[in-house]
Amino acid sequence: MRMQGLLAAVLVTTAFATTTHAQDAGFKVPPGTKNIYITAPIYSELVMHTLPLDWNPMPAYHQDQGPMSMRTYLPKGQTLEDWKDLLTVQASYGWSKDWRNTPEYFLRGLGQLHRRLCGDQAVFEPLGETVVDGHPAYRAIVGCASHPSDPKMAEINYYIAVRGTNDLYLFQRGKRVPRFDPATPPLTADNVDALMTGIAPIGFCDWPAPKASECAKTRQ
């Protein structure tokens, strides 16, 4: 199976026992809806984002076991075996409790891993620190201009690593495209915001909620 990309399982280092592959399952979007709102309790936080209407609101791939979590969303009509666009939300339980762990440290390590796997075809463009709903975060463009398993194709990703109150949350907005010159990637600092149209903003609430229907926000 062609999975969610070269490093879709960055945080997933063991074979998961719980795996869910979801289809459209007859989901109906109410008339007048502009975006699909996704809320998912993942460890210490309720994670919130949106999806465009032409995306499947059910995860195409969902794994949870122990300290690792992954949810992958695809546009309708695309599959895990032959996707062109994806959004993957990963989490690592307890990662943020170590003060030495930072989102920048994590993404720079991801860039180094791509260099080992892709050689001179690796792409890594750090985009700097940011804040996502009160949480410190770091952004980067990471990919391979020529995919090791299919040299005619490339994969380029926009990553947002977020240091949650207790856990790391990693958002991957990926694209598969024809092979390109690594010096001129199709995804740059100038167009990543457009790639997130229909997905941002990303939000967090404490989980479990202290009171029903209340969004409490604990910050470090």
User: CATH number of the domain that 91 lies in?
Assistant: 3.40.1000.10
| pTM, two decimal places | 0.85
- The whole-number pLDDT of residue 219 equals 60
- The whole-number pLDDT of residue 99 equals 86
Q: What is the mean pLDDT of each run of 10 residues along the chain (220 residues)?
A: 39 30 43 77 94 94 93 96 95 92 95 94 96 96 92 95 95 96 95 91 90 74
Q: Domain residues for 55? A: 34-206
- The whole-number pLDDT of residue 212 equals 72
Nearest CA among 203, 204, 171, 175 for reference residue 191: 175
- The whole-number pLDDT of residue 178 equals 96
* Residue 161 counted as domain residue: yes
* Residue 3 counted as domain residue: no
* Residue 13 counted as domain residue: no
Integer angstrom CA distances of residue 217 from 91, 102, 133: 18, 20, 9
- The whole-number pLDDT of residue 164 equals 94
Other CB atoms within a 10 A radius of the CB of residue 33 amount to 10
* Residue 10 counted as domain residue: no
Maximum pairwise Cα distance, the chain: 52
Residue with tokens 């391979």: 144
* Residue 60 counted as domain residue: yes
167 sits in the region (left: phi over 0; alpha: psi -120 to 50; else beta) called beta
**Distance of alpha carbon 70 from alpha carbon 59, whole angstroms:** 9
* Residue 99 counted as domain residue: yes
- The whole-number pLDDT of residue 100 equals 87
* Residue 150 counted as domain residue: yes
* Residue 18 counted as domain residue: no
How many distinct structural domains can be found in the chain? 1
Task: State the Rg of the chain over Cα.
Answer: 17
